[in-house]
Amino acid sequence: MDFSHETFLAFSKSWGLFYMMAFFLCVCAYAFWPRNRKRFDRAKHSILERDDRPWQK
Amino acid sequence: MLANLTSSERQNALVIAVAVAIAGAAMAIAGRADVMGVHGVIVMLFGGVVAWLVMGSLYAPEPAEDRSASYYDDPIKVGIALAMVWAVFGMFMGVWVAAQLAWPSLAFDAAWSSFGRLRPMHTSGVIFGFGGNALIATSFHVVQRTSRARLAGQVSPWFVLLGFNLFCVLAVSGYLLGVTQSKEYAEAEWYADLWLVIVWVTYFILYIATIARRKEPHIYVANWYFMAFILVVAILHIVNNLALPVSWGHAKSYTIWPGVQDAMVQWWYGHNAVAFFLTAGFLGMLYYYLPVRAQRPIFSYRLSILSFWGITFFYMWAGSHHLHYTALPHWVQTLGMTFSVMLLVPSWASAGNALLTLNGAWHRVRDDATLRFMMAAAVFYGLSTFEGSFMAIRPVNSLSHYTDWTVGHVHAGALGWVALITFGSFYTLVPSLWKRERMYSAALVEWHFWLAIAGTLIYVFAMWNSGIIQGLMWRTYTEEGALAYSFVDSLVAMYPYYIARAFGGLLFLIGALVGCYNIWMTVRAAPVAAARGSDVPAHPAAVPGE
């Protein structure tokens, strides 16, 4: 196996792009997944609830 | 504050403080007359004072109330106070070095007060002292409220807060005494760096452990930003500060990175310090305190997720734009430039998300200076990220690099974005933490706002003018092909702008002093609100435009 500058360069220029694209698609899928809508809605409203104590049983 | 610790926790705190003092003694013995010896004495005193404070109430009665029924706010209160003290110190140093540029005799012909030593005192004072303490304090507040869980430790929050401040003291006093690693924003020497690793890993574990206790199914997005800030700063700090000291008893060390690799590692660190220290954590503040203060949920939660991953993954590659036209391979420069331009998308997504959250609550922005602080911060965030992307483009950089334009850009971000969002968050947080109805004086918040805005605008416009004049003078050629202006010519042309810059900084400092007084009077004088069950400003019922 050849560990030259050019080898790493070629690897990062090709796979670097692909993993970024794949990651982008995963993030979009997570953000727009219909089942996540409810938990996101709850999260964004829950910080406005006026309760200043930790949750207790 | 110590009354809220059990006696075994007080013993642990005492053991840690004594261990720190012993480590300081070892440093003092090993360092002798070297700066490291002086630092050893400082560490010893720091550990000793903490140990003495703990010993004073070592045998006090156990805490009476059930601690799990309340949030742990004591370290947050101290963190806010420390942040404001560092703000005044760091901004004063800034005004002083700015004045030195206009009137060099203000260095008073002493080594310790020369520009080269005071300038890192300013940068570390404001970034780490003010910004760092503000981040630690607000992150402790946000993680507890959004997780509905108390901090996962009793002594460790104090260790993080006080340990971080010990690092800041070592860093700043080291510059005064003349030691530096000569790395931008990483000037502190090896032993201070090692100490910060211990503190920071504790911070990370504490944060993760608190999130693990959460009673909410979903981790609110502000915590993602704080987590990214803590995790990435740990990685950056360790990699950039890999160095070999010349001996165990000497402050001087040499980096393990050679030549252009050192430059690349330094600016990978340097730009990500801007990205993760000065942006990610403060976006965490924005995503929590702005919706809370405006009493409106964030405009788009999905957009906040997309921009989070955009910011974390793009920023990592942007650092090489600091090294255009250097020995760094051309493709690496191009990579940094491309990612810097792409960064505009997630940056504007966050700024737009914040401003759209306020859409429908503009009357509150008009009436409430605290909310206006955060609105202005979002605007400056949008402006300075646009400017940054633009300046990273290679031909633009050939004009702007090494000029005051860069300084103006940094301060548009640091004053306009970082400091304004911090003050907005503090003015939201202080009344709620100390259980007051409101800040001591709304008029003083208003004064602070306008002093800060005026100071920032004067500063930034002065630096734009001076930077572009500098850049143009340095590239003007005569018909014979020689440079038309000497360096001193360009320096003389800067004189009025340097005076304006120092004045703008002075206004900002005065604003911070007004803020300190207002916070102090809120803590001291304002009446305790009767039977307040809420954590947020009053009158949340009416939400127009919802």
Give yes or no for B217 touching A (CB within 8 A). yes
Which neighbouring-strand residues pair with B253? B245
Residue A23 lies in a domain: yes
CB contact under 8 A, B217 and A39: yes
* Residues B449-507: tens digit of each pLDDT: 999 999 999 999 999 999 999 999 999 999 999 999 999 999 999 999 999 999 999 99
Percentage of chain B modeled with pLDDT above 70: 96
Cα four-point dihedral sign B19, B21, B24, B25: negative
Instruction: Give the list of residues 6+ apart from residue B326 with CB closer than 8 angstroms, or none.
Output: B260, B263, B333
- Identify whether the C-beta of residue B89 lies closer than 8 Å to the C-beta of residue B125: yes
CB contact under 8 A, B218 and A56: no
HSE toward the beta carbon, residue B364, CA cutoff 13 A: 25
- Identify whether the C-beta of residue B80 lies closer than 8 Å to the C-beta of residue B429: yes
CB contact under 8 A, B291 and A44: yes
Residue B113: CB atoms within 10 A of its CB come to 15
Residue matched to tokens 């002594």: B155
CB contact under 8 A, A47 and B540: no
Residue matched to tokens 């500058």: A5
Residue A42 lies in a domain: yes
Nearest CA in chain B to A45: B297
Residue A41, both tokens: 């809605």
Residue A6 lies in a domain: no
Instruction: Give the list of residues 6+ apart from residue B431 with CB closer than 8 angstroms, or none.
Output: B437, B438, B439, B522, B526, B537
CB-nearest partner of B306 from A27, A51, A53: A27
* Confidence check: pLDDT of B318 > 90: yes
Instruction: Give the list of residues 6+ apart from residue B103 with CB closer than 8 angstroms, or none.
Output: none
Contacts of A22 in chain B (CB under 8 A): none
Residue B202: CB atoms within 10 A of its CB come to 17
Residue B203, both tokens: 């911070």
- Identify whether the C-beta of residue B529 lies closer than 8 Å to the C-beta of residue B495: no
Q: So what's the pLDDT on residue B542?
A: 46
Give yes or no for B150 touching A (CB within 8 A). yes
Distance of CA A1 to the CA centre of its chain: 33
Nearest CA in chain B to A5: B329
pTM of the model: 0.94
**Which residues of A sit within 8 Å Cβ distance of B?**
9, 13, 20, 23-24, 27-28, 30-32, 39-48, 50-56
List the single best residue of B224, B261, B305 to mutate versus A (max A Cβ within 10 A): B305
* Confidence check: pLDDT of B531 > 60: no
What is the C-alpha separation between B536 and B468, in angstroms, rounded? 45
What is the C-alpha separation between B453 and B91, in angstroms, rounded? 15
DSSP B412: I
What is the C-alpha separation between B402 and B83, in angstroms, rounded? 30
Residue A56 lies in a domain: no
Q: How far is A30 from chain B (nearest CA, A)?
A: 9
Residue matched to tokens 């990214």: B228
CB contact under 8 A, B535 and A31: no
Fold entry, domain B73-524: Cytochrome C Oxidase; Chain A (1.20.210)
Confidence label for B526 from pLDDT (cuts 50, 70 and 90): low
Nearest CA in chain B to A44: B297
What ipTM was estimated for this complex? 0.91
Contacts of A40 in chain B (CB under 8 A): 218, 301-302, 305
To the nearest whole number, what is the mean pLDDT of chain B? 94
Full residue range of the structural domain in which residue A29 is found: 15-46
CB-nearest partner of A54 from B148, B302, B533: B148
Instruction: Give the list of residues 6+ apart from residue B64 with CB closer than 8 angstroms, or none.
Output: none
Give yes or no for B146 touching A (CB within 8 A). yes
Confidence label for A14 from pLDDT (cuts 50, 70 and 90): confident
CB-nearest partner of A31 from B215, B220, B306: B306
Q: How far is A1 from chain B (nearest CA, A)?
A: 24
Nearest CA in chain B to A40: B301
Give yes or no for B144 touching A (CB within 8 A). yes
Nearest CA in chain A to B307: A27
Q: How far is A3 from chain B (nearest CA, A)?
A: 17
Q: What is the mean pLDDT of residues B274-303?
A: 96
Lowest mean pLDDT among B102-106, B150-154, B173-177, B541-545: B541-545
Q: How many domains does chain A have?
A: 1
Which neighbouring-strand residues pair with A19? none
Name residues 409-448 of chain B within 8 A of A (Cβ). 432
